[in-house]
Amino acid sequence: MLECAGMTPSFTSGALAAQLGAELVGNPDLTISRLEVIERAGPDTLTFIRDRLNAKHWLASKAPCALITRRVELPEFDRTQRALLRVDDADLTLNTVIDLFAPPASRPAPGRHPTADVDPTATIGAGVYIGPACVVGPGAKIGDGTVLKAQVYIGENASLGRMCVMHPGVRVLDRCVAGDGCIFHAGVVIGADGFGYRPSPDGRGVVKIPHIGNVDIGPGVEIGANTCIDRAKFGSTLIGAGTKIDNLCQVGHGCRIGRACLIAAGLGMAGSCVIGDGVMMGGQVGIADGVTIGPGATIGAQSGVIGNVPPGEAWLGTPAMLANYTLRDWANARRVGAGKPSINAGREARQAKRERPA
């Protein structure tokens, strides 16, 4: 049964197992009031076990209770003092647990702070909150229930859908669009000019290319802090519904990102790239201009993508190629560096023998 001490929820191990539909192994009466990784766990802590190594660490930790993925073999432990909650996927179930332990979300009451500057031609929906020092420009539209927390700038004729949350310092510049339920974290800039220059006719400098397009972001998109998405030269830079972009990413002008993509921190994407639905990209990936990455592809962290990636493939390395090839090359480099023959040495010798003239 759930109890509350102030704002902190507390469960017994048995009650938590029932909430999660987990199989309980051990004591059902342990008190669990917080979540923590194994290394910092205390006596009232729930942690999680995804593999055999974590199981060993748990036995040496102070955590009395842990989620454990079913495929991991159960360790021997004192079932009167500890408990394990067996689930299909400990990492995935942890998301549900986090929701149970999360403090209640505070949502400001609808209204407009006295320091906010809202143009009289802007359209403001029902239940909108506009916080301190926010600016809403001429012709802008703010959908029902949207929250502008503080120092948010919404440009001329820009549009936000219903139930969006704009954290402090967000800038949605002129004519840019965001759909329902978007979340933009602090410092996000939507619709800055693309990085476009050409040599000047006299050869003594550069000429700035005008960018008259916009950014069009689908519903349910979440964008991390200090990420920038540039407006198109003409037409729209597009972000598909449900895509999640991490902190400190740069999306260039005219890119088209599909639905339900996951893009980790530090990505740099040059202009006019096309990213298919369901693509996953690790941290610090760099993508050259005009590259197409097919639906369902995976790009490993710190990869440099300079050519098109077929659908569903996993690519890695700089320059990026099929992950299996990159891993093979890395293994060869280590072997050669240690004075050992290549892992392909035998095959290469047989091939050379076959090709040797008679």
Query: pTM (2 decimals)?
Result: 0.84
> Are 135 and 153 a contacting pair, CB within 8 Å?
yes
Look-up: residue for tokens 């996953």?
280
Range of the domain at 342: 323-355
Q: Are strands 286-287 and 141-142 parallel, antiparallel or unpaired?
A: unpaired
**What DSSP element (H or E) covers 31?**
strand 31-32
Nearest to 76 by CA among 84, 86, 88: 84
- In the set 57, 167, 185, 253, the catalytic residue is 253
Q: Where are the alpha helices (DSSP H) in the chain?
A: 13-20, 52-59, 90-101, 323-337, 345-355
From residue 311, alpha-carbon distances to 237, 292, 297, 314, 322 in Å are 21, 10, 5, 9, 12
| Measured CA distances, 97 to 21, 24, 318 (Å) | 12, 15, 38
Digit-by-digit pLDDT tens for the chain (358 residues) are 344 444 568 899 999 999 999 999 999 999 999 999 999 999 999 999 988 888 889 999 999 999 999 999 998 999 999 999 999 999 889 899 998 888 877 789 999 999 999 999 999 999 999 999 999 999 999 999 999 999 999 999 999 999 999 999 999 999 999 999 999 999 999 999 999 999 999 989 999 999 999 999 999 999 999 999 999 999 999 999 999 999 999 999 999 999 999 999 999 999 999 999 999 999 999 999 999 999 999 999 999 999 999 999 999 999 999 999 999 988 888 877 677 666 665 565 556 566 666 5
**Calpha distance 227→126 (Å, rounded):** 29
253 is catalytic: yes
In this structure, the answer to whether residues 308 and 332 fall within a common structural domain is no
CATH of the domain at 72: 3.40.1390.10
Judge if 179 and 303 occupy the same domain. Answer: yes
Bin 181: left if φ > 0, else alpha if -120 < ψ < 50, else beta. Answer: left
* Same domain as 282, residue 200: yes
Please report which helix (H) or strand (E) contains residue 268, including its range: strand 268-269
54 and 82 fall within a common domain: yes
Phi, psi of 213 (to 5 degrees): -85, -160
Question: Do 315 and 166 share a domain, yes or no?
Answer: yes
Q: Which two tokens stand for residue 144?
A: 């029902």
Residue 83 counted as domain residue: yes
| Separation of alpha carbons 161 and 263, rounded Å | 23
195 and 261, same domain (yes or no):
yes
Counted domains in the chain: 3
Say which CATH number the domain at 298 has.
2.160.10.10
In a domain, 106, yes or no: no
Q: Judge if 217 and 331 occupy the same domain.
A: no
